[in-house]
Amino acid sequence: MTKALVTGGAGFIGSHVVDELVRRGREVVVYDNFSSGSRKHLEGAAASGRVSIVEGDILDLACLGQAMKGVSIVFHLAANADVRGGPSNTWIDLEQNVVGTHRVLEAMRTAGAGEIVFTSSATVYGEPELFPTPETYAALQTSVYGASKLAAEAYIQAYCEYFNMRSYTFRFVSWIGERYSHGVVFDFVNKLRQNPEELEILGDGNQRKSYLHVEDGIRGIFLAIERLRERKNVINLGHEEHMNVKRLASIVCEEMGLGSTAYKFTGGERGWLGDSPFVHLDISKIKSVGFRPQIGIEQGIRRTVRYLLENTWLLESRGAKT
């Protein structure tokens, strides 16, 4: 890994990947269009002198190709992250997640980059009937977002076969932690800052989800890269714990010093069309190479809330996703 390129490298997870690569002494190209990422996230890594930043879109093959020169491994994190928006915008997941991944693969092929790390999602499992859900589970798709991630996975696997690349595809649960910029904790904090008396919760609040702190997630990614050497690796990356949304809401309220907030539920077992009422992944594969989550879900949520309250610029720049 002499030189790495990180698409979406200014984002929540991407900037932590950049930090870890710099810590390991690597040269890093951050490729980001800054539609949601922040240059603030890169200040520490940039001070090393080993980071170059290219502002560009992954759909721009010419720009991407220039940035890819001399790169041996690509961490592909740039994607549409609006899981809930599929019914109202049916093309964006196809364009950003599928076509965008194809552009990255084409730039890699031309430049001779041999390895790709791809951030997929637990949404590829739809609404599984097996818990914890293993990597081998074949699911029917329930969201355009999940379908786009699965299609991107398929393109990556095909390019590995055609062009002798190696891939690491990580199917994530929701991540939390420092620099967190979208998702349920972000939404709750933003809503409660606007109205601490009442919190709207999508669904009935009984949805059970698994969450992974970014420190654990980054450690898991690099453990897998170091120790799994198949040509095509598909790895669940999550937590052995899970929590329902009502309990998560209570933790957020506690951290914000709110003791009498009323909950208003929108109803139904799903928060939105395509939402899975229960997400809990089998992480036996990643555990086999030495991974264990070190930060409990409750601790991770509390740390995330504290970070957001200490960095209100992030809340204000992104706005409430409600």
Residues 144, 266 within the same domain: no
Residues 62, 163 within the same domain: yes
Which residues constitute the domain of residue 189? Answer: 177-210+241-270+297-318
Residues 154, 190 within the same domain: no
**Residue 142 belongs to a domain:** yes
Helix, strand, coil distribution of the chain in percent, nearest 5: 40, 20, 40
Q: What angle do CA 11, 214, 278 make, to 5 degrees?
A: 105
Residues 153, 191 within the same domain: no
The predicted structure's pLDDT at residue 320: 40
The predicted structure's pLDDT at residue 114: 97
Q: Which of 117, 147, 172 is where one domain is finished?
A: 172
The predicted structure's pLDDT at residue 82: 77
Averaged over 93-116, what is the pLDDT?
Answer: 97
Residues 8, 109 within the same domain: yes
**Residue 228 belongs to a domain:** no
Q: What is the pLDDT of residues 231-259, one digit of tens each?
A: 999 999 999 999 999 999 999 999 999 99
**Residue 231 belongs to a domain:** no
Strands (E) located in the chain = 3-7, 27-32, 51-55, 73-76, 115-121, 166-172, 174-176, 198-201, 208-209, 211-213, 232-237, 243-244, 262-265
Is residue 309 pLDDT above 70, yes or no? Answer: yes
Structural domain count of the chain: 2
Conformational region of residue 89, where left means phi above 0, alpha means psi within -120 to 50, and beta covers everything else: beta
Whole-number percent of the chain with pLDDT over 70: 98
Averaged over 286-311, what is the pLDDT?
Answer: 98
**Residue 308 belongs to a domain:** yes
Q: Which of 143, 172, 201 is where one domain is finished?
A: 172
DSSP string, 119-138: EEEGGGG-S-SSSSBPTT--
The predicted structure's pLDDT at residue 280: 98
Averaged over 277-282, what is the pLDDT?
Answer: 98
Q: How far is CA 273 from CA 85, 211, 292, in A?
A: 9, 20, 32
Q: Which of 172, 199, 233 is where one domain is finished?
A: 172
Least Cα distance to 308 among 195, 196, 186 occurs for 186
Residues 17, 136 within the same domain: yes
How confident is residue 1, by pLDDT bands cut at 50, 70 and 90? low
Q: What is the pLDDT of residues 129-144, one digit of tens each?
A: 999 999 999 999 999 9
**Residue 288 belongs to a domain:** no
Contact criterion met (CB below 8 Å) for 138 and 87: no
Residues 188, 120 within the same domain: no
Residues 8, 97 within the same domain: yes
Residues 137, 183 within the same domain: no
Tokens of 282: 């089998």
Q: Is 161 exposed, middle or buried (0-12, 13-18, 19+ CB in 10 A)?
A: exposed
**Residue 285 belongs to a domain:** no
The predicted structure's pLDDT at residue 2: 84
Q: What is the pLDDT of residues 12-67, one digit of tens each?
A: 999 999 999 999 999 999 999 999 999 999 999 999 999 999 999 999 999 999 99
Averaged over 159-171, what is the pLDDT?
Answer: 98
CATH at residue 99: 3.40.50.720
Contact criterion met (CB below 8 Å) for 156 and 98: no
**Residue 276 belongs to a domain:** no
**Residue 20 belongs to a domain:** yes
Residues 204, 121 within the same domain: no
Contact criterion met (CB below 8 Å) for 134 and 287: no
Q: What is d(CA 80, CA 73) in angstroms, rounded to the nearest whole number? A: 22
Q: How far is CA 45 from CA 6, 21, 116, 141, in A?
A: 13, 9, 21, 38
The predicted structure's pLDDT at residue 321: 39
**For the whole model, what pTM was predicted?**
0.96
Mean pLDDT score across all residues of the chain = 96
Residues 10, 149 within the same domain: yes
CATH at residue 204: 3.90.25.10
Partnered with residue 306 across adjacent β-strands are none
Residues 255, 145 within the same domain: no
Cis (ω within 30 of 0) for the bond into 196? no
Averaged over 159-166, what is the pLDDT?
Answer: 98
Least Cα distance to 112 among 5, 227, 232 occurs for 5
